[in-house]
Chains A and B, each alone.
Chain A
Amino acid sequence: GQNIDQPTEMTATEGAIVQINCTYQTSGFNGLFWYQQHAGEAPTFLSYNVLDGLEEKGRFSSFLSRSKGYSYLLLKELQMKDSASYLCAVRDSNYQLIWGAGTKLIIKP
Protein backbone atom coordinates (compact mmCIF):
# COMPACT_ATOMS: atom_id res chain seq x y z
CA GLY A 1 0.00 0.00 0.00
CA GLN A 2 0.94 3.65 -0.16
CA ASN A 3 2.04 5.37 2.98
CA ILE A 4 3.38 8.70 4.17
CA ASP A 5 4.78 9.09 7.67
CA GLN A 6 5.44 12.30 9.52
CA PRO A 7 5.57 13.08 13.23
CA THR A 8 2.27 13.90 14.81
CA GLU A 9 3.45 16.86 16.82
CA MET A 10 6.61 18.90 17.39
CA THR A 11 7.47 21.76 19.70
CA ALA A 12 10.08 24.44 19.08
CA THR A 13 11.12 27.81 20.46
CA GLU A 14 10.60 31.17 18.81
CA GLY A 15 13.71 32.18 16.88
CA ALA A 16 15.03 28.64 16.63
CA ILE A 17 15.18 26.16 13.72
CA VAL A 18 12.98 23.09 13.32
CA GLN A 19 13.09 20.21 10.84
CA ILE A 20 9.93 18.27 10.02
CA ASN A 21 10.59 14.90 8.43
CA CYS A 22 8.46 12.99 5.95
CA THR A 23 9.07 9.46 4.68
CA TYR A 24 7.02 7.92 1.93
CA GLN A 25 6.33 4.65 0.18
CA THR A 26 4.30 5.17 -2.96
CA SER A 27 3.64 3.60 -6.33
CA GLY A 28 5.97 5.78 -8.32
CA PHE A 29 6.92 9.36 -7.69
CA ASN A 30 6.02 12.58 -9.46
CA GLY A 31 6.83 15.19 -6.88
CA LEU A 32 6.55 15.95 -3.19
CA PHE A 33 4.70 18.89 -1.72
CA TRP A 34 4.54 20.65 1.60
CA TYR A 35 1.49 22.59 2.72
CA GLN A 36 0.87 24.72 5.78
CA GLN A 37 -2.49 24.66 7.52
CA HIS A 38 -3.37 26.98 10.36
CA ALA A 39 -6.09 25.81 12.71
CA GLY A 40 -9.52 26.32 11.18
CA GLU A 41 -8.09 27.43 7.84
CA ALA A 42 -7.44 25.90 4.45
CA PRO A 43 -4.05 24.38 3.57
CA THR A 44 -1.73 26.68 1.63
CA PHE A 45 1.08 25.58 -0.68
CA LEU A 46 4.64 25.95 0.64
CA SER A 47 7.02 24.00 -1.59
CA TYR A 48 7.46 21.44 -4.33
CA ASN A 49 10.39 19.05 -4.87
CA VAL A 50 10.72 16.69 -7.78
CA LEU A 51 14.52 16.39 -8.00
CA ASP A 52 16.92 15.48 -5.20
CA GLY A 53 18.32 18.34 -3.22
CA LEU A 54 17.38 21.41 -1.30
CA GLU A 55 14.89 24.06 -2.39
CA GLU A 56 15.13 27.28 -0.44
CA LYS A 57 12.37 29.83 -0.19
CA GLY A 58 13.01 32.50 2.40
CA ARG A 59 12.85 31.09 5.92
CA PHE A 60 11.53 27.77 4.61
CA SER A 61 13.55 25.09 2.82
CA SER A 62 12.53 21.66 1.62
CA PHE A 63 14.83 18.73 0.92
CA LEU A 64 14.22 15.57 -1.07
CA SER A 65 16.03 12.25 -1.41
CA ARG A 66 14.13 10.02 -3.82
CA SER A 67 16.39 7.03 -3.23
CA LYS A 68 15.59 7.15 0.49
CA GLY A 69 11.94 8.09 0.11
CA TYR A 70 12.61 11.00 2.42
CA SER A 71 11.97 14.70 2.65
CA TYR A 72 12.19 17.36 5.28
CA LEU A 73 10.87 20.85 5.72
CA LEU A 74 13.25 23.20 7.49
CA LEU A 75 11.88 26.31 9.16
CA LYS A 76 14.38 28.94 10.31
CA GLU A 77 14.00 31.95 12.61
CA LEU A 78 10.73 30.57 13.89
CA GLN A 79 7.93 33.00 14.54
CA MET A 80 4.79 32.48 16.58
CA LYS A 81 2.75 32.63 13.38
CA ASP A 82 4.51 29.47 12.20
CA SER A 83 2.41 27.51 14.66
CA ALA A 84 0.37 25.35 12.30
CA SER A 85 0.09 21.88 10.86
CA TYR A 86 2.47 20.97 8.05
CA LEU A 87 1.23 18.45 5.52
CA CYS A 88 3.48 16.34 3.33
CA ALA A 89 1.97 15.00 0.09
CA VAL A 90 3.40 12.85 -2.69
CA ARG A 91 2.12 12.55 -6.25
CA ASP A 92 2.32 8.94 -7.38
CA SER A 93 2.72 7.43 -10.83
CA ASN A 94 -1.00 7.93 -11.51
CA TYR A 95 -0.68 11.61 -10.59
CA GLN A 96 -2.76 10.99 -7.48
CA LEU A 97 -1.82 12.97 -4.38
CA ILE A 98 -1.15 10.88 -1.29
CA TRP A 99 -1.34 12.93 1.88
CA GLY A 100 0.36 12.53 5.23
CA ALA A 101 -1.64 13.13 8.39
CA GLY A 102 0.26 16.33 9.08
CA THR A 103 2.65 17.50 11.79
CA LYS A 104 1.31 19.95 14.32
CA LEU A 105 4.06 22.45 15.12
CA ILE A 106 3.81 24.34 18.39
CA ILE A 107 6.00 27.40 18.81
CA LYS A 108 6.76 28.56 22.34
CA PRO A 109 8.06 32.02 23.27
Chain B
Amino acid sequence: SAVISQKPSRDICQRGTSLTIQCQVDSQVTMMFWYRQQPGQSLTLIATANQGSEATYESGFVIDKFPISRPNLTFSTLTVSNMSPEDSSIYLCSVERPGGEINTGELFFGEGSRLTVL
Protein backbone atom coordinates (compact mmCIF):
# COMPACT_ATOMS: atom_id res chain seq x y z
CA SER B 1 0.00 0.00 0.00
CA ALA B 2 0.95 3.65 -0.27
CA VAL B 3 0.73 6.28 2.43
CA ILE B 4 -0.18 9.69 1.07
CA SER B 5 0.08 12.85 3.13
CA GLN B 6 -1.91 15.76 1.85
CA LYS B 7 -2.09 19.27 3.24
CA PRO B 8 -3.78 21.46 4.11
CA SER B 9 -6.64 19.23 5.21
CA ARG B 10 -8.99 22.17 5.03
CA ASP B 11 -8.90 25.89 4.49
CA ILE B 12 -11.17 28.86 4.14
CA CYS B 13 -10.05 31.19 1.39
CA GLN B 14 -11.01 34.57 0.10
CA ARG B 15 -12.24 35.10 -3.43
CA GLY B 16 -9.41 36.00 -5.81
CA THR B 17 -6.64 34.37 -3.81
CA SER B 18 -4.68 31.22 -4.65
CA LEU B 19 -3.94 28.17 -2.56
CA THR B 20 -1.37 25.43 -3.06
CA ILE B 21 -2.11 21.88 -1.96
CA GLN B 22 0.79 19.54 -1.29
CA CYS B 23 0.86 15.78 -1.72
CA GLN B 24 3.66 13.57 -0.40
CA VAL B 25 3.84 9.82 -1.09
CA ASP B 26 5.94 7.40 0.94
CA SER B 27 7.22 5.60 -2.17
CA GLN B 28 8.23 6.51 -5.70
CA VAL B 29 5.39 6.55 -8.20
CA THR B 30 5.29 7.34 -11.88
CA MET B 31 1.96 9.13 -12.04
CA MET B 32 0.08 11.18 -9.51
CA PHE B 33 -3.53 12.15 -10.05
CA TRP B 34 -5.40 15.20 -8.84
CA TYR B 35 -9.15 14.87 -8.38
CA ARG B 36 -11.94 17.18 -7.34
CA GLN B 37 -15.00 15.95 -5.47
CA GLN B 38 -17.92 18.29 -5.02
CA PRO B 39 -20.69 17.39 -2.56
CA GLY B 40 -22.86 14.59 -3.88
CA GLN B 41 -20.91 14.42 -7.12
CA SER B 42 -18.54 12.04 -8.84
CA LEU B 43 -14.82 12.21 -8.48
CA THR B 44 -13.59 14.36 -11.36
CA LEU B 45 -10.05 14.02 -12.61
CA ILE B 46 -8.34 17.40 -12.95
CA ALA B 47 -4.97 16.29 -14.27
CA THR B 48 -2.28 13.64 -14.25
CA ALA B 49 1.15 14.71 -13.05
CA ASN B 50 4.24 12.94 -14.36
CA GLN B 51 7.70 13.66 -13.04
CA GLY B 52 9.82 15.60 -15.50
CA SER B 53 7.05 16.62 -17.83
CA GLU B 54 4.05 18.91 -17.91
CA ALA B 55 0.85 17.69 -16.37
CA THR B 56 -1.89 16.37 -18.61
CA TYR B 57 -5.17 18.19 -18.01
CA GLU B 58 -8.66 16.84 -18.53
CA SER B 59 -11.32 18.62 -20.50
CA GLY B 60 -12.56 21.65 -18.60
CA PHE B 61 -9.36 22.18 -16.62
CA VAL B 62 -6.49 24.43 -17.66
CA ILE B 63 -2.97 24.99 -16.44
CA ASP B 64 -3.51 28.69 -15.70
CA LYS B 65 -6.27 27.85 -13.23
CA PHE B 66 -4.74 24.67 -11.78
CA PRO B 67 -0.95 24.79 -12.13
CA ILE B 68 0.73 21.58 -11.03
CA SER B 69 4.30 20.84 -10.04
CA ARG B 70 5.96 17.41 -9.93
CA PRO B 71 9.57 17.97 -8.93
CA ASN B 72 10.29 14.33 -8.02
CA LEU B 73 8.75 10.87 -7.84
CA THR B 74 7.25 11.31 -4.37
CA PHE B 75 5.83 14.82 -4.36
CA SER B 76 3.38 17.04 -6.22
CA THR B 77 1.50 20.27 -5.70
CA LEU B 78 -1.76 21.57 -7.10
CA THR B 79 -2.52 25.28 -6.99
CA VAL B 80 -6.06 26.57 -7.25
CA SER B 81 -5.64 30.05 -8.69
CA ASN B 82 -7.84 33.12 -8.49
CA MET B 83 -10.42 31.24 -6.50
CA SER B 84 -14.15 31.78 -6.66
CA PRO B 85 -16.92 30.18 -4.58
CA GLU B 86 -17.41 27.66 -7.40
CA ASP B 87 -13.98 26.24 -6.53
CA SER B 88 -15.22 25.20 -3.10
CA SER B 89 -14.67 21.46 -3.12
CA ILE B 90 -12.56 18.61 -1.83
CA TYR B 91 -9.33 18.14 -3.75
CA LEU B 92 -7.78 14.69 -3.63
CA CYS B 93 -4.35 13.46 -4.58
CA SER B 94 -4.05 9.82 -5.61
CA VAL B 95 -1.54 7.28 -6.92
CA GLU B 96 -1.77 3.83 -8.40
CA ARG B 97 -0.45 0.92 -6.37
CA PRO B 98 3.34 1.34 -6.39
CA GLY B 99 5.14 -1.40 -8.24
CA GLY B 100 1.95 -2.70 -9.75
CA GLU B 101 1.02 -2.91 -13.36
CA ILE B 102 -0.39 0.28 -14.75
CA ASN B 103 -3.78 -1.23 -15.50
CA THR B 104 -4.65 -2.65 -12.08
CA GLY B 105 -6.65 0.45 -11.30
CA GLU B 106 -6.16 0.24 -7.56
CA LEU B 107 -5.82 3.80 -6.38
CA PHE B 108 -4.66 5.13 -3.05
CA PHE B 109 -5.94 8.54 -2.03
CA GLY B 110 -4.74 11.26 0.23
CA GLU B 111 -7.07 12.44 2.96
CA GLY B 112 -8.22 15.32 0.79
CA SER B 113 -8.14 19.08 1.11
CA ARG B 114 -11.51 20.68 1.76
CA LEU B 115 -11.50 24.21 0.42
CA THR B 116 -14.20 26.75 1.13
CA VAL B 117 -14.04 29.97 -0.88
CA LEU B 118 -15.94 32.93 0.48
Contacts and interface: CB of A to CB of B under 8 A. Distances in A.
Interface stretch (A67-75, A76-84, A89-97): A89-97
Residue with the greatest number of chain B CB neighbours at <10 A, chosen from A30, A42, A87, A95:
A42
21 contacts: A4-B42, A30-B105, A31-B105, A33-B105, A41-B112, A42-B109, A43-B43, A43-B92, A44-B109, A45-B106, A87-B42, A89-B105, A91-B103, A91-B105, A95-B103, A97-B107, A99-B42, A99-B44, A100-B42, A101-B41, A101-B42
Contacts, number: 49
B45 interface: yes
Q: Which size class do A's interface residues fall under?
A: 20 to 34
Interface string B89-116: 0001000000000111111111110000
